[in-house]
Amino acid sequence: MQMIDNFVVVLCFIGIILVGYYFSKTSQDMDSFYKANRALPWSLVVGTLMASWYGGAGVVGTVGYSTTMGFAAFFLWSIGAHAVRFPLALWIAPRISVKAKGTIPDLLREHYGKFAAVLGAVVIVVSCLSIGEVAAVGYVGEGAWHADKFVVAAIVVVISIGITCLGGLMGVAVTDMIFFFLMVTCVSAAFPGLFFSVGGLEGIKAALAQPAPEMITALGGIPIPQAVMLIVLCINLYKDPSFYQRFAAANSPKTGKRAMLLCFSIWLSFDVVTMMTGTIIRVLDPELTVQPEVQYIALIAGELPMIVRGLFIVGILGAIISTLDSYYLIGGEIVANDIIYMIRGDRKLDDKTSISVTRVFAVIFGIIGLASAFQFDRVYDAFLFLASLSMTLLFVPMIAALMYDGRKTDVGGVASMIVGGAAWIFFQYACPIVISGVTLDPVLIGLPLSFIAFLIGNRFGKDLSAERRLKGI
C-alpha cells in the first residue's frame, strides 16, 4: 500500500462516517432506528443482504477455507447454501414480513413463551459478536500494511460501532450498498490476472496434480462427516437474524422476495471468484507456509493499480464493517427490546433509552469480539463454531414457528432448544465422536435430537399461538 492508497482509504471512511451522521438525524425513534420505518426499497435490500452475508467470513474466510477444500468449496458449500435459499426467498421471506415483528425472540415468544424467547435471545446475541469478521480484519491489516492485526481490528470495530450508533438500519443499509459495489468490483477486477498468471484451469490442474490432487475434485477428498456437516450448515441462514431484520424492514413482502431472487446470481458468480482464488493461492503455496487469508490480501493488492488498490481495501474492510454493524445493531436491539423488556415484566423501554442501550451494547460486543477473535486457526472456523451452536438450539423451533401451522406448544419449543443445546455441549466438549480421523460436528447429533424433543414435547403444554387466535389477539 502506497501513500495515495492510504489516502483513498482514509477519505472513503470519512465519507462513510458522514453518511452515518446524515442518517442519524432521521433515526430518532425505535421504528426508524431498528426498521428504517419499514421502508427499505428493493435496491437497498439487495445491497444490504449481499454486503451483510459476504463479510470477512464470506470473502476472506472463504478464500482461506478454499485453499484446503479446492473445488469442493463450490460444489458442497456454495451450491448447497444457495439452493436452500430458494425456499427462503419464495415462501419464508414473505411470511417473515407478516409474522415477525423484526426479531427472532418475538417469534419464539409468541409460540413458545417467555423462557424460550429469552434463551433464544441470548444465543442470538452471542452469534452477533461476529468474531469471524473481527479475525478477518486482522488478516486484512497484515496483508495490506504488515500491521498488527489486533490494532487494525480495533480500528475497524470502532468504525463499525460508530456507523451502528449513528444511523441505525437506514445508515447501515446505505453504507452496505456502497461497500457492496466496491467489494464486488475490485475483488472481481483482480481475478482475471491471477487466473491467467497460473495458466488458467489447465495450469491449476497441472500444478496441483502432485501435491494436492483432491483439490480439483468435486468432493475435494473431504471426509464424509465433514461434507455432511457443511451441507447441513447450508440451512443455517434460516435462523440468521440479519435476514429477518431486512425482510421485516422491506417496504413490502414482495420486496424481500425479489431481492433474494436477484441475489442468487450475484452470490453464485462471486463464489466462483473467491473460491477459485483460494485454489490459486494453494497453487502458489502448496504447503500453505503463509496464512492464506494474509496472502490473499497481499496477492490481490499486488495485482491492482494505485487508487484501485485503495478502493479494494475499502471494499474488503467495508464488507466486514457492513456485517459487523448489522449484527451489532441486531444484537443491541435484541438486548434492549427483548431481553430487558422481558426481564422488566413486559414493560417497554422508551425510544431514547432503547436506542441508548443498543449503542452501549454495540461497544460491549466490539470489546468481546476483539478479545476472542484470534483464538481460531481460520476465519471460517470461528464462523462455523457459532453457526453450529446457534443452529442446534434455534433451527427446529424457528422453522416450525414460521412454516408449521399445526400444534406447537411451549413445552415442545423449550424441550427442543434445551435438548439440542445440551447435546451440542456434550458432544463438543465431554464426548467428541471421531469417525475416520475426523471429529464429528455436534450439530449432526444435536439437530436430530432437537427435532425429536420437539415432537415429544408437543404432546404436552399449551399451544400459545392457538390460544391467542381464539382470544382474537
DSSP 4-17: HHHHHHHHHHHHHH
Residue 36 and residue 152: Cα distance in Å, rounded? 30
Residue 35 and residue 88: Cα distance in Å, rounded? 20
Residue 289 and residue 236: Cα distance in Å, rounded? 32
How far from chain centre, in Å, is Cα 401?
Answer: 22
Residue 312 and residue 301: Cα distance in Å, rounded? 8
Q: What angle, rounded to 10 degrees, do the helices at 379-403 and 114-127 form?
A: 150
Residues with Cβ < 8 Å from 338, sequence gap 6 or more?
A: 103, 105, 106, 109, 117, 118, 121
- Are 131 and 273 spatial neighbours (Cβ–Cβ below 8 Å)? no
According to the model, what pLDDT value does residue 36 have? 67
In a domain, 418, yes or no: no
Domain of 46, in residue numbers: 3-386
Residue 382 and residue 93: Cα distance in Å, rounded? 27
In a domain, 407, yes or no: no
In a domain, 460, yes or no: no
The sign of the dihedral angle between the CA atoms of 356, 358, 359, 360 is: positive
In a domain, 217, yes or no: yes
Measure the CA dihedral 221/225/230/233, to 10°: 180
DSSP state letters, 260-321: HHHHHHHHHHHHHHHHHHHHHHHHH-TT--S-HHHHHHHHHHHHSPTTHHHHHHHHHHHHHH
In a domain, 422, yes or no: no
- Are 49 and 260 spatial neighbours (Cβ–Cβ below 8 Å)? yes
Return the closest-CA partner of residue 201 out of 316, 107, 70, 296.
70
Write the CA distances from 353 to 124, 170, 172, 176, 435, integer angstroms. 21, 19, 20, 26, 51
Spans in the chain with pLDDT lower than 70: 23-32, 34-36, 52-53, 55-57, 85, 88-103, 167-168, 221, 223-226, 233-234, 236-239, 244, 253, 376-383, 436, 469-473
* Element (DSSP H or E) covering residue 434: strand 434-435
Return phi, psi of residue 439, to 5°.
-75, 125
DSSP state letters, 137-185: HHHHHHHHH---HHHHHHHHHHHHHHHHHHHHHHHHHHHHHHHHHHHHH
We report the CATH number of the domain holding residue 289 as 1.20.1730.10
According to the model, what pLDDT value does residue 102 have? 52
HSE-CB for 164 with a 13 A CA cutoff: 31
Residue 226 and residue 57: Cα distance in Å, rounded? 18
In a domain, 269, yes or no: yes
In a domain, 444, yes or no: no
Neighbouring CB atoms inside 10 A of 185's CB total 13
In a domain, 118, yes or no: yes
Q: How many domains does the chain have?
A: 1
Write the CA distances from 134 to 53, 73, 120, 148, 253, integer angstroms. 14, 22, 23, 13, 33
Burial of 14 (0-12, 13-18, 19+ CB in 10 A): exposed
The sign of the dihedral angle between the CA atoms of 375, 381, 387, 392 is: negative
- List, in sequence order, every residue forming a beta bridge with 434; answer none if it has no partner: 439
Residue carrying C-alpha cell 404432546: 459
**Residue 385 in grid coordinates:** 463454531
Burial of 228 (0-12, 13-18, 19+ CB in 10 A): middle
